[in-house]
Structure 1
Amino acid sequence: MKRLLPLFAALTALLIASPAGAYWEYGHQTIAEIAWANIKPVTRGRILALLRQQSLLGTPQCKAGTIDDAAVWADCIKGIKNPDGTQKYGDTNAWHFQDVNICQPFDLIEPCKGGNCVSAQIVRDAKLLKDRDTPTADRVRALVFLIHFVGDLHQPLHAGEKGDKGGNDVKADYGTYAPPRLNLHSIWDGYLAERAISTGPSLVRRYPTAERARIAAGDVVDWSRESWKVAHDATYATAIGGDPCGPTPAHVRLDNATIAKLVPTVRLEVKRGGLRLAKLLDQALG
């Protein structure tokens, strides 16, 4: 897979502005590739059969014929406009995240009201994908959404926040890189993910059975709570430099020592996302 940091810089202005902006390509595609390396052969074949039906999505400008393309399709469609300039798929924006306050008891009821949150959509898509009576077009759509949303759930600022649009309202510097519109969310979406994924041995590999079972244990609620806790314990704690529930400065800085400290945390989140996606795909298609 190509490293995409130069592309991230070009996309920053677009993605920083949106609270629904999701893991950039490198994060989503790495999670999808980890899953691909760990699913059953029969699951792989059935995924390929569905992706060959990508034309049923009705989005020729957003490809989904490969696992890498499918991983970012849900973000690509955000750029499709109606004739009047409005976002054609704007109703899907809220599906990429869940605003669970890290400083209150964990609860998905209000953030997921009406099914408009990432964990509810993961459950919905897995169910649609598994049901062989679901129309093929809906199964293809469920597949590409599922691949993407499991990635989103494992970006901690899509699972927990503190009234700041998942860190979008928190201006931030990344080491010595400090463009005017950079924020905490975009750092975790792109720059930190890029650094973590490309540090150390490749995360894309076949993992031992015991490790897969241990990491993929539990369900979407368990994974949501875990990612929410990472937002509390790692994302905000390091950004603030103390109590994550204390006042958040208008502008924070992640220095090089902090970035290095966060690399193992981000690598674990990406691995968790890949192996849990593999579990869901095998359950639905294997």
Structure 2
Amino acid sequence: MKVELVALGVVSIASGVYGWGASGHQTVGYVAMQFLSPKALEFVQTSLGSTYSHSLGPAATWADEVRSQAAYTWSSVLHYVDAEDDAPDSCSVDESRDCADGRCILTAIANYTSRVVDTSLSDTERQEALKFLDHFVGDIGQPLHVEARAVGGNTISVQCNGATTNLHALWDSGMINRLLPGTYNSSATNWANTLVNRIKSGSYSSLAESWISCSSTTEPARRSVEGDILALLHPRADGTLVCPLVWARDSNSLDCSTVFDYTIGEDLCTSSYYTRNIPLIETQIAKQGFRLAAWLNVLFDGATNLP
């Protein structure tokens, strides 16, 4: 699949939403940087250059920054997949049902995975593919980017630290913006370093391997990350990937277990909702950084090369 996804005539109401917010997306990128294999690291640093400090961290917000520009309005629908399930009672993501027109985050990841290693493309085109991958792998870990209910939570008004916001924005940035100042000195790099330590030798170390096994409680393991990418890049590939679908289902499951579980009128940033869900947000950020590194390592080094 080497043809770039083209401009769309209609932009969904969800086009105004933003994935983890700047800090969350940057942290995904900074986590990934610490797990890149040599060839993947060389490509990332060379491709992104000084404009992005040779890092996936600063580059991770680009896709949100350009989506409001006329030249990129077509990309808005690629940041999510509207799971037409029955959350919070029943959660599921079905690509044929939820991405029937072929324009969603699942197909976007497949498209830009192919493009980032396509040497017939220009350096600029491959850099753009890398920046989209950097961002979309982060987005797919946000539970409300894989849920159709209330336009991904955008039409549900909630309170956060005494201010009115919506449920989607609360998960994108509201809870993160409360976490960072007191715990990580308002630094995405500090946050990323802590998450990396948890992956290498802390509370995530026994879980990290399962994050890239392309299996979940709803989807039996059918393909490794290596197998997924090899199948995609095969000359007769149909552009379908297993791993991003599994990751979407993993995130979507939180819509049934916790995202919509709150009392109307309570401040979700100062109540038990925050203390219950902020560890989940941290885990989702760590997962997507680790998965992004695995994805790029297979593309450029042939194996995940992860602990």
Which band: TM-score by shorter chain?
A: 0.7 to 0.9
1:276 to 288, 291, 295: 291
Q: CA deviation at 1:268?
A: 1.1
Unaligned 5+ residue runs, structure 2?
1-12, 185-190, 215-242, 302-307
Cα distance change of structure 1 residues 194 and 140 upon mapping to structure 2, 3 Å threshold: same
2:220 counterpart of 1:214 = no
Residue 253 of structure 2 corresponds to which residue in structure 1? 229
For residue 8 of structure 1, what is the aligned residue in structure 2?
none
Q: For residue 38 of structure 1, give the secondary structure of its aligned residue in structure 2.
A: coil
Please state whether the residue corresponding to 2:159 is helix, strand or coil. strand
For these two proteins, the number of residue pairs brought into alignment is 243
Q: TM-score, normalised by structure 2?
A: 0.71
Q: CA 1:115–1:137 in structure 2 vs 1: closer, same or farther (change >3 Å)? A: farther
| Alignment TM-score, normalising by the size of structure 1 | 0.76
Report what 2:77 is aligned to: 94
The alignment status of 1:147 with 2:134, answered yes or no, reads yes
Between the aligned partners of 1:157 and 1:64, the Cα distance in structure 2 is: 30
2:148 paired residue number: 161
The separation in 1 between residues aligned to 2:67 and 2:147, in whole angstroms, is 22
Alignment correspondent of 1:45: 42
The structural deviation recorded for 1:172 is 0.5
Counterpart amino acid of residue 152 in structure 2: G
Instruction: Render the CA deviation track for 1:81-105: whole Å, top value 9, x for unaligned.
Output: xxxxxx3311000000111034164
Query: Which residue does the alignment assign to 1:23?
Result: 20
Which of residues 35, 44, 56 in structure 2 aligns to 1:67?
A: 56
For 1:77-88, what aligned pairs fall within 5 Å after superposition? 77-80=66-69, 87-88=70-71
CA RMSD of aligned residues (A): 2.7
Instruction: Report Cα offsets for 1:24-78 as digits up to 9, x if no partner.
Output: 1110000111111111132111111111397xxxxxxxx6854222100001112
Hey, what does 1:124 align to over in structure 2? 111
Aligned partner of residue 96 in structure 2, secondary structure = coil
Match of 2:30 in 1: 33
Amino-acid identity (%): 26
Offset of residue 17 of structure 1:
8.3
Map 1:197-212 → 2, pairs under 5 A? 199=183, 202-205=194-197, 207-208=199-200, 211-212=207-208
Q: Distance in 1 between matches of 2:133 and 2:85?
A: 25
The residue type equivalent to 1:228 in the other structure is N
Distance in 1 (CA, whole Å) between partners of 2:289 and 2:80 is 18
1:183 and 2:175 are equivalent in the alignment: no
